Structure 1
Amino acid sequence: MTPSLNNETLIDLNDDLAEAGDTPSQTVSVRVTHRRDVASHQSVPRDGLIRFVVGPDGFVVPDLKETLPGRGLWLKADADSLALAIKKNLFSRAAKRAVKTPEGLDTLVPALIRRRLLEQLGLARREGNLVTGFEKVATALKLGKTAAHAAGRAAWLIEASDGAEDGRSKLLNLSNGQTPSVGLCGLFSNDELSLALGLENVIHAALIEGRRAAAFSREAERLGGFEALFPAQWRERPFNSN
């Protein structure tokens, strides 16, 4: 049984290492923090929640960076939970005081997460953890075919929403069937990606596996509760293997 301490769960990773054929040299644990979801009243892993606080003016404010002062009001990151919280004034109940909900909160939250995703891509590029252009992206994807955690392996394939299907389908083919799986993001247009990365004509990009990719994954998971990360037909169409 996994021990719990101060609303946190300790997960021992040694069993996972053993199953992978590795012998752990020391105890490896990950501390997973839980918070109570104001909609379901269930204890939920923090990564799947969005923190809100009550501002000085009495309005509830989304705190995606989780740095604003005040008591946190945690809500599951999906459109249904947010709609329920707004409709039934659940923020007031959780805060045990009168709380006002700003107009358009249901569209503001996903918009803020989208902006954070673009910020993560910009940071990754400055850190050297993101490559652009068909050939470089293809190389990063091919590394994942040779080893599960090869250095320089692509963790995410970022495709411009208005890019041509031919190049995209070839890269999707390279990303298909890898373990761990390669994430796919098609949220942003060529112009949005180019502006965020400070480059011209960004159609294909790959976010390299590592700490920055993990941060991007968390934001992408949260946004996935509000909208699809890519058009469904991108995965439904047969991959071009030529």
Structure 2
Amino acid sequence: MTATPKESPERPARAAPATLAQAARERRDVVSGEVRDEASLIRFVVAPDGLVVPDLGRKLPGRGVWVAADRASVETAARKGAFARSARTKARAPEDLADQVEALLKKRVIDGLGLARRAGELISGFEKVAASLASGGAAWLIEASDGAEDGRRKVLAALRRSPRPVGVVGVFTSAELGLALGLENVIHTAFLAGRAADRWATDVRRLAGFRPLLPESWREEP
């Protein structure tokens, strides 16, 4: 999965929000100037000491500065002083700000898997995952990045036969998944379709703007 390309200047003007609720969820990206849904943006605030801080939960006090959820946009905002201009105060963006956002998003994504398992919305194990793919019950396939190639090939073949589109995440190792889920030897996991999966997908898509969701080596496999 790759980050969504930015809109071309030649595209038609954006339609006005249909409702006040929709308008409340839209913010202006300080880098491109585009008005976008909050789900595709990262909120930042300037701390009292002037340090720019990511606010992925959108709960920190202060004037929010919104930037498109991709590495290039965050790095551009930091380099060109967009945080200070938007917040109308002195602001100091750390050199590793984009890396901080990536790490925080990765944590939110894997924490979301733990919550989903406790709620019964996540299943693990080849047979269960393959069955959920075949029935169309899975919305996301989460594969351990260090799993065996043979098992991965088989589960990806099952994914291709799924009657519905299924996203794939290969960001976490088996050990990381096991720690989050409270299980051992976690290789194949599926997030079942539903509202929880839809909410979780928001952070996954934002993470895709900072790092590939699949290891490069997978693309080289036969």
For the Cα contact (< 8 Å) 2:135–2:163, is it kept in 1?
no
**Aligned-partner Cα distance in 1 for 2:142–2:54:** 26
Name the counterpart of 1:187.
171
> After superposition, what is the alpha-carbon deviation per residue over 1:201-230, rounded to whole angstroms, capped at 9, x for unaligned?
101100111122112211110011111100
**Aligned-partner Cα distance in 1 for 2:91–2:17:** 36
Residue 200 (structure 2) aligned to one of 208, 211, 216? 216
Q: 1:7 to 1:42 in 2, by over 3 A?
A: farther
**TM-score, normalised on structure 2?**
0.87
Name the counterpart of 1:8.
22
Number of residues paired by the alignment? 208
Shift of 1:114: 0.3
Structure 2 residue identity aligned to 1:172: L
SS for the counterpart of 1:8 is helix
Choose 1 or 2 for highest CA Rg. 1
**TM-score, normalised on structure 1?**
0.80
SS for the counterpart of 2:107 is helix
Name the counterpart of 2:111.
119
Structure 2 residue identity aligned to 1:211: R
Residue 84 (structure 1) aligned to one of 76, 84, 96? 76
Shift of 1:103: 3.7
Q: 1:201 to 1:104 in 2, by over 3 A?
A: same
Q: Structure 1 regions of 5+ residues with no counterpart?
A: 10-31, 145-152
Shift of 1:57: 1.8
Structure 2 residue identity aligned to 1:169: R
Shift of 1:105: 1.1
1:34 paired with 2:26, answer: yes
> After superposition, what is the alpha-carbon deviation per residue over 1:101-147, rounded to whole angstroms, capped at 9, x for unaligned?
12421211101100000100000000000001111111111111xxx
1:203 paired with 2:187, answer: yes
Shift of 1:6: 4.4
For the Cα contact (< 8 Å) 2:174–2:186, is it kept in 1?
yes
Equivalences for residues 130-209 of structure 1 within 5 A: 130-144=122-136, 153-176=137-160, 178=162, 180-209=164-193
Structure 2 residue identity aligned to 1:184: V
Structure 1 residue identity aligned to 2:111: E
Q: Structure 2 regions of 5+ residues with no counterpart?
A: 1-14
> After superposition, what is the alpha-carbon deviation per residue over 1:125-178, rounded to whole angstroms, capped at 9, x for unaligned?
00000001111111111111xxxxxxxx11110000000011111111111154
For the Cα contact (< 8 Å) 1:161–1:186, is it kept in 2?
yes
Shift of 1:2: 6.4
Shift of 1:233: 5.0
**Aligned-partner Cα distance in 2 for 1:189–1:81:** 28
For the Cα contact (< 8 Å) 1:120–1:212, is it kept in 2?
no
Shift of 1:82: 0.8
**Aligned-partner Cα distance in 2 for 1:134–1:102:** 42
1:225 paired with 2:217, answer: no
**Aligned-partner Cα distance in 2 for 1:3–1:162:** 44
Name the counterpart of 1:26.
none
Tell which has more relative contact order, 1 or 2 (C-alpha 8 A, sep 6+): 2
For the Cα contact (< 8 Å) 1:7–1:34, is it kept in 2?
no
Q: Which 4+ runs in 1 deviate beyond 6 A?
A: none
Q: CA RMSD in A?
A: 1.9
SS for the counterpart of 2:25 is strand
Residue 47 (structure 1) aligned to one of 39, 42, 65? 39
For the Cα contact (< 8 Å) 1:120–1:215, is it kept in 2?
no
Task: State the percentage of identical aligned residues.
Answer: 50
